[in-house]
Amino acid sequence: MRYLEDAVTLEFIPERCDGCGMCVKVCPHAVFGMENKRAALADRGACMECGACAKNCEREAIRVKAGVGCATAVLAGLMAGKEPSCGCSGESSTCG
Amino acid sequence: MPSIDAYSQRTLRSFTVRRRVDAPWIDGFVVTASGKVPRVQTALDFRDCLGSVKARWDIGRMNYRVPPGLYAAGNPGIGSTVLVSANYKMSFDRLRSVLPGRDAWILVLDTDGVNVWCSAGKGTFGTDEIVRRVQESGLERVVSHRTLVVPQLGAPGVSAHEVQRRCGFRVEYGPVQAEDLPAFLDSGMKASPDMRRVRFRLRDRAVLIPVELVMGAKYAVLLALAFLLLGGVSGGGYSLAGVRTIGLKSAAVVLGAFLAGAVLGPILLPWLPGRAFSAKGAALGLVLVAGIGAWDIFRNGGVASWLHAAAWMAITPALTSFVVMNFTGASTFTSLSGVRREMRFALPLQVAAAAIGFGFWLGGLFAA
Ligand code: SF4
Ligand code: SF4
Segment (H or E) for B364:
helix B336-367
Give dist(CA A8, CA A2) in Å, integer: 13
Q: Give me the pLDDT at residue A96, please.
A: 34
Contact A71 B277 (CB under 8 A): yes
Would you say how long chain B is, in residues?
A: 368
Say if residue A92's pLDDT is above 50. no
pLDDT at residue B168, as a whole number:
97
Query: Which of B270, B326, B333 faces A72 most closely, judged by CB atoms?
Result: B326
ipTM rounded to 2 decimals: 0.90
CB distance A64 to ligand 1 below 6 Å: no
Lowest mean pLDDT among A66-80, B7-21, B124-138, B241-255: B7-21
Which residue from A11, A22, A31, A63 has its CB within 8 A of the most atoms of ligand 1, so it is best to mutate? A22
Dist. CA B175–CA B192, nearest whole Å: 9
* pLDDT of the residue at B22: 61
**pLDDT value of residue B202:** 96
- Computed over every residue of chain A, the mean pLDDT equals 88
Interval B285-308: pLDDT, tens: 999 999 999 998 898 888 888 999
Q: At what angle do helices B248-259 and B209-230 cross, to 10 degrees?
A: 160
B184 Cα: distance to centroid of ligand 1 (angstroms): 22
Nearest to A49 among B114, B335, B347 (CB): B335
Q: For B145-204, write each residue's pLDDT tens digit.
A: 999 999 999 999 999 999 999 999 999 999 999 999 999 999 999 999 999 999 999 999
Least trusted range by pLDDT, from A89-93, B24-28, B91-95: A89-93
* pLDDT tens-digit series, residues B327-367: 999 999 999 999 999 999 999 999 999 999 999 999 999 98
Q: Does B332 touch chain A (CB under 8 A)?
A: yes
pLDDT at B303: 81
Mind giving me the DSSP string for A60-77? Answer: --EE-------HHHHHHH
